[in-house]
Structure 1
Amino acid sequence: MMMNYPLTLQHAFKRATRIFPHKEIVTQTDGEPHRYTYADWGRRSMQLANALQKAGVEQSDRIATFAWNTYRHFELYFAVPCMGAVLHTLNIRLFAEQLVYIVNNAEDKIIFVDGDLVPVLERLADQFSSVKLYVIMGEAPHATGKLQPSVDYEEFIGDQPATYEWPELDENAAAAMCYTSGTTGNPKGVLYSHRSIYLHSIGSCFADGPALAERDVVYPLVPMFHANAWGFPHASAFVGAKLVLPGRFMDPLRVAKTMEQERVTFAAGVPTIWIGLLNLLDKEQFDFSALRIIISGGSAVPQALIEGLHHKGVTIVQAWGMTETSPLASVARLRASQEDLSLEEQFAIRARQGTMVPGVEFRVMDMETGQEVPWDNQTFGELQVRGPWIARAYYHDAESDAKFANGWLRTGDVAVVDKEGTIQLVDRTKDLVKSGGEWISSVEIEGLIMGHPKVLEACVVGIPHPKWSERPLACVVAKPAFIGQVTKEEIIEFLRPKVAKWWLPDDVIFVEAIPKTSVGKFDKKVLRNSYKTHNLAQG
């Protein structure tokens, strides 16, 4: 018989502070970076826990953050759940009505807010029904004082003891919560248990996955409000990795300089960040010799981006997941049998979403028959997953049954599976273009267009068509050096040998920028709405 050892975040906290007390946590600022150690972080986190207890926080209370990726946010990441409360990270880019809904639905008791973000909450504070206190982190130069009662973070924790006796917790108790981006209807709350975060952190250390290790210098550009920064802050504490936090400074030049100066080995962020970095690397050189891997997800990583960074000596690895999967589910690593393939074949494999990591089961189900599709790399179906860090229901949501069927999470992603059991997402169910009764993958066309040497970004949406029901429209952003120098005909001819004729977009529109969602994905609903009356035939 084995010990009944609770899998809680307290283990990661104690391990980081006892075994790796001298490892650094770095946060980018307007001036010199803020630096301290895991030992400093541990003391301040326990001061924070004492302050929360003094403020009346009890187990299961929701404590919200409205913040960038910083050392204070990282203190909250562990102090709140380790004392038994629930850390609720609020998306700082949400629409006002969604933010109000989320705060009230979660019944947040305290909100910790970065000083420069205070004005955003001030406009909404009178609509929050449950918030009893605002804790302001750093200077708030544009605040009007409307957030009341409020206290400065350093004042809040300053006179508290630097030791805290963590209570014994049930590993199945909630530790954190995030809300989905709410592309249809209200956002949905996902509760992560201590156990799920613990196991997910271990999953992030698998050699065939992200392979996070103590020797890494981890740079999560994915926001800490986006599915817990994909779990990498938690996993960094587990293994004792140096952590570099970007604050609000995520433009390509600042990213490149930080990666060079801090000798970053491991970075994570959505493809749009790395598209910007690649564009910068075409003009300037940086020393990325320490960098071993970039993990990218949130939306499909274009093969052209994988190829472009490879030729700059940078390895980007595609991973797939969602808020409901904590989020790590699959990683596109080459298998041993594929390492002797041509570079072109390897790029095509790496552009897939890859192999499910140990702990996650999957199946791809025909959307009409309800049967599992053959592994022929052609038959479309909905990807469904289950596992110990996969959500089984939404928080306070009566409509969960439609999303969680017979113990499986219905992802809403459409995929094909090859004979090796690796997956490729062809689209979201709502983003597939159905033309004349046949499916067209908008994601695949986008990836191909972004392989054009004059193209920075491309987004494809289905537009109503009187004969075919829908036809694809491509919205394209040219690289700065080629604005006005690339044509619709050039894009179509570039695509022609690569896709079936009926997959070719009926029109190509050149735009200044692609609208993005709050987590950096292409916002297709905005484009669909903007161009729903666009005359494809005339175009």
Structure 2
Amino acid sequence: MMDRPLLISGIIEHAATVSAGTEIVARRIDGSTHRYGYAEAARRCRQLANAIVRLSIADGDVVGSLAWNTHQHFELFYGISGTGAVLHTINPRLFDDQIVYIVNHAEDRWLFLDATTLPLAERLAPQLETVRGWIYMGAPGELPDSALPGLLSYEDLLAAEGDDYDWPEFDERKASTICYTSGTTGQPKGVVNTHRSTILSTLYMSTADMIGGYAAGATDTVMPIAPMFHGNGWQMVYTAPAQGQRMVLPGRNFEPEKLYEQMVAERVTLAAGVPTIWLALVDLLKRERLPMPPTLRVALTAGTKAPPSLLRTLREEYGLGCRQTWGMTEALGVTKASPPPGSADAAPEVQEALSLRQGRMGFLAELRLVDDQGRPVPHDGESQGHLQARGPCVAAGYLKQDPVAVDGWLPTGDIARIHADGSVEIVDRAKDVIKSGGEWIPSVQVEAAAMDHPDVAQAAVIGVPHPKWQERPLLLVVPRAGAAQDADAIRAHLAGRIAKWWIPEEIRFVDELPMTATGKIHKVTLRERYGDPLKAAE
């Protein structure tokens, strides 16, 4: 058999050859729409590659991007990585000191910016020790006055280059992209993907079994609402061109009104985002009495455990298939959303239980559970333990750090159950489990039960010190607009849904919950604000 390297450049050239006219529809930062086919996208990627060479960006150099889901950002994934350089996607929502840390830690040589991130780059530039050049991704002829020295125009760079470029061949284990974890505790950690791992995860995540709802090629119009700096837009920057799917990019507009407008106008069939995105969309539909976008068939969600009430609403009120998967920056696409064989004819309560799990163990991935002493825990759907992963698309460690894998397995930081059919049920983050009277209370299950109450818009549970029980749960609730703030009613609602001793003695109503840069509730901040010992009666 031929031995050909697995390289990312092969994806965009394949799309240009067999899906030349299939569209990428992208919102620009100014709200206007850019449309082009995969053949034109590939041509611009080759122009970018020529510009990268002309800028003396060498093989292995790291190039950063502070940008949103635009067509220009999409091009960086091929025009940079395809040359042998490494694309470092940076989350603009991170705190300033975190961005400074990761740019310096990754040793970014150049930074690509857009109109929303230019002020951020200008503010941080004096602290960025390794950056030697800046490129502004705007419209042709648009180059704002800036304090950044020698700011270049992305479009001018491309216009000066031809589209004839021979993608180099090199070791498929060479780094392709770097993505840093969100760093809710300590500094963010860099996860380095290789060309090999990216191609393998793309192949796996392109299978119909992955989503349980993919259609063939351009029959699907997919929309990665997950930002491109979150696990490469959940790998859709690769899977969509690999499959020839029409792709819709929301630019900077993640507001539910803008997403809804784009879904309807572009006839989106499959969209992917964290649960908070879908909660906001459902809230819009109910508030404005709007129908679900008529072409939408599948809602993919991951990143954190989806509230059962959300899944039920999407399924029963809007007839939408909602698929959950589990993954992390360190392990992209290790579970699949399709239900186990034979479940299509199962009783409704069985199908309901399956929908609440976070996918099934995927091809090319292995998952296991261990107890606190590292001993294996059975996959019986009842026992729970520390979730570990291994496989060719799983990180063994972090950039410039010693490997963290234990006996070849990556500790994920999650507490989970694994069922006999390979389906995964996340119980909680290990650091968020509440230890009360020697037993565990999973915060996510209490939160999910609270979210089922019609007056609750958001809920978060943290453990706070208790004089007798070591810790007890504190429930923080953001009420729906106009709803009563009735703690007793919420406790009554929780009774029968969760164990009696899990029910919080104290419930506090708050205006909002702090969020991380990846759209998750920031429990470190909650513990700082509300972590005083409970004074309630024992």
Identify if the C-alpha distance between structure 1 residues 77 and 142 changes in structure 2 by more than 3 Å, giving closer, same or farther.
closer
Q: Give secondary structure in 1 for the equivalent of 2:376.
A: coil
How far off is 1:496 after superposition? 0.8
What is the distance in 1 between the residues matched to 2:529 and 2:85? 43
What is the distance in 2 between the residues matched to 1:222 and 1:463? 32
What does 1:134-153 align with in structure 2 at a 5 Å threshold? 134-138=134-138, 145-153=146-154
Match of 1:77 in 2: 77
Q: What stretches of structure 1 of length at least 5 have no aligned partner? A: none
Contact 1:22/1:38 (<8 A) preserved: yes
What is the distance in 1 between the residues matched to 2:529 and 2:197? 40
Matched AA of 1:198: I
How far off is 1:396 after superposition? 0.6
- Say whether 1:105 aligns with 2:105: yes
Matched AA of 1:272: T
How far off is 1:421 after superposition? 2.9
- Say whether 1:316 aligns with 2:322: yes
What is the distance in 2 between the residues matched to 1:345 and 1:440? 24
What is the distance in 1 between the residues matched to 2:338 and 2:435? 31
Q: Give secondary structure in 2 for the equivalent of 1:111.
A: strand
Identify if the C-alpha distance between structure 1 residues 126 and 32 changes in structure 2 by more than 3 Å, giving closer, same or farther.
closer
Matched AA of 2:253: F
Identify if the C-alpha distance between structure 1 residues 476 and 281 changes in structure 2 by more than 3 Å, giving closer, same or farther.
same
**Cα deviation digits, residues 284-330 of structure 1 (max 9, x gap):** 223523222111111101111100111212211111100001x2111
What does 1:184-199 align with in structure 2 at a 5 Å threshold? 184-199=185-200
What is the distance in 2 between the residues matched to 1:405 and 1:31? 47
- Say whether 1:418 aligns with 2:422: no
What is the distance in 2 between the residues matched to 1:143 and 1:531? 44
Counterpart among 347, 350, 363 of residue 368 in structure 2: 363
Q: Give secondary structure in 2 for the equivalent of 1:288.
A: coil
Counterpart among 376, 381, 399 of residue 385 in structure 2: 381
Identify if the C-alpha distance between structure 1 residues 536 and 317 changes in structure 2 by more than 3 Å, giving closer, same or farther.
farther
What is the distance in 2 between the residues matched to 1:31 and 1:97? 30
Match of 1:220 in 2: 224
How far off is 1:376 after superposition? 3.2
Contact 1:332/1:350 (<8 A) preserved: no
How far off is 1:346 after superposition? 1.5
Identify if the C-alpha distance between structure 1 residues 487 and 143 changes in structure 2 by more than 3 Å, giving closer, same or farther.
farther
Match of 2:269 in 1: 265
How far off is 1:451 after superposition? 1.1
The aligned length equals 531
What does 1:319-398 align with in structure 2 at a 5 Å threshold? 319-325=325-331, 327-367=332-372, 369-398=373-402
- Say whether 1:178 aligns with 2:161: no
How far off is 1:335 after superposition? 2.1
Contact 1:119/1:143 (<8 A) preserved: no
- TM-score, scaled relative to structure 1: 0.95
Identify if the C-alpha distance between structure 1 residues 512 and 342 changes in structure 2 by more than 3 Å, giving closer, same or farther.
farther
Identify if the C-alpha distance between structure 1 residues 340 and 486 changes in structure 2 by more than 3 Å, giving closer, same or farther.
farther
Contact 1:26/1:33 (<8 A) preserved: yes
What is the distance in 2 between the residues matched to 1:226 and 1:442? 24
Q: Give secondary structure in 2 for the equivalent of 1:405.
A: coil
**Cα deviation digits, residues 309-360 of structure 1 (max 9, x gap):** 11212211111100001x2111343223222233333222111112111110
Contact 2:327/2:334 (<8 A) preserved: yes
Q: Give secondary structure in 1 for the equivalent of 2:208.
A: coil
After alignment, is 287-296 or 60-69 more displaced?
287-296
Give the CA RMSD over aligned residues. Answer: 1.8
How far off is 1:536 after superposition? 5.0
Q: Give secondary structure in 2 for the equivalent of 1:169.
A: coil
Contact 1:257/1:286 (<8 A) preserved: no
What is the distance in 2 between the residues matched to 1:42 and 1:386? 33
**Cα deviation digits, residues 224-253 of structure 1 (max 9, x gap):** 001111111111111111110001111111
Q: Give secondary structure in 2 for the equivalent of 1:389.
A: coil
What is the distance in 2 between the residues matched to 1:226 and 1:372? 31
Q: Give secondary structure in 1 for the equivalent of 2:235.
A: helix
